[in-house]
Amino acid sequence: MQYRVLAVVIGLLVGYWVLQLLLPVVFRVLRPFVFLAVILAAVWALFPTEVCSIEVLSKIPKLCVR
Protein backbone atom coordinates (compact mmCIF):
# COMPACT_ATOMS: atom_id res chain seq x y z
CA MET A 1 0.00 0.00 0.00
CA GLN A 2 2.88 2.40 0.69
CA TYR A 3 4.19 1.88 -2.85
CA ARG A 4 0.77 2.77 -4.21
CA VAL A 5 0.77 6.06 -2.28
CA LEU A 6 4.34 6.76 -3.39
CA ALA A 7 3.52 6.01 -7.03
CA VAL A 8 0.46 8.30 -6.96
CA VAL A 9 2.38 11.16 -5.34
CA ILE A 10 5.37 10.83 -7.70
CA GLY A 11 3.09 10.60 -10.75
CA LEU A 12 1.22 13.71 -9.73
CA LEU A 13 4.42 15.61 -9.00
CA VAL A 14 5.82 14.69 -12.43
CA GLY A 15 2.56 15.78 -14.05
CA TYR A 16 2.69 19.01 -12.06
CA TRP A 17 6.26 19.64 -13.24
CA VAL A 18 5.42 18.89 -16.89
CA LEU A 19 2.43 21.22 -16.79
CA GLN A 20 4.55 23.92 -15.21
CA LEU A 21 7.17 23.53 -17.91
CA LEU A 22 4.82 23.41 -20.89
CA LEU A 23 1.97 25.69 -19.92
CA PRO A 24 3.05 28.34 -17.39
CA VAL A 25 0.13 30.76 -17.88
CA VAL A 26 -2.54 28.06 -17.95
CA PHE A 27 -0.91 26.36 -15.00
CA ARG A 28 -1.13 29.52 -12.87
CA VAL A 29 -4.87 29.53 -13.42
CA LEU A 30 -5.27 25.80 -12.79
CA ARG A 31 -2.90 25.61 -9.80
CA PRO A 32 -5.64 25.46 -7.11
CA PHE A 33 -7.43 22.63 -8.96
CA VAL A 34 -4.19 20.68 -9.44
CA PHE A 35 -3.41 21.13 -5.75
CA LEU A 36 -6.86 19.78 -4.81
CA ALA A 37 -6.38 16.84 -7.20
CA VAL A 38 -3.05 15.96 -5.52
CA ILE A 39 -4.67 16.07 -2.08
CA LEU A 40 -7.67 14.00 -3.25
CA ALA A 41 -5.40 11.39 -4.88
CA ALA A 42 -3.29 11.08 -1.73
CA VAL A 43 -6.36 10.69 0.49
CA TRP A 44 -7.89 8.22 -1.99
CA ALA A 45 -4.68 6.15 -2.01
CA LEU A 46 -4.71 5.96 1.79
CA PHE A 47 -8.47 5.64 2.38
CA PRO A 48 -10.25 4.45 -0.81
CA THR A 49 -13.42 3.25 0.96
CA GLU A 50 -13.92 6.51 2.83
CA VAL A 51 -13.39 8.59 -0.32
CA CYS A 52 -15.95 6.48 -2.18
CA SER A 53 -18.47 7.05 0.60
CA ILE A 54 -18.63 10.74 -0.43
CA GLU A 55 -21.70 10.94 -2.65
CA VAL A 56 -20.27 13.20 -5.35
CA LEU A 57 -17.08 11.15 -5.69
CA SER A 58 -18.90 7.80 -5.61
CA LYS A 59 -20.45 8.65 -9.01
CA ILE A 60 -17.02 8.66 -10.70
CA PRO A 61 -16.78 5.13 -12.17
CA LYS A 62 -12.98 4.84 -12.38
CA LEU A 63 -12.47 6.14 -8.82
CA CYS A 64 -14.71 3.69 -6.97
CA VAL A 65 -14.36 0.42 -8.88
CA ARG A 66 -14.94 -2.46 -6.50
- Three-state SS at 60: coil
Does the predicted TM-score (pTM) go above 0.85? no
Q: What is the distance between the alpha carbons of residues 45 and 4, in angstroms, rounded to a whole number?
A: 7
- Please check whether residue 42 is in contact with residue 5, taking contact to mean a CB–CB distance below 8 angstroms: yes
Q: Does 1 have pLDDT greater than 70?
A: no
Q: What is the pLDDT of residue 66?
A: 59
Alpha helices in the chain (DSSP H): 2-22, 24-46, 48-52, 55-58
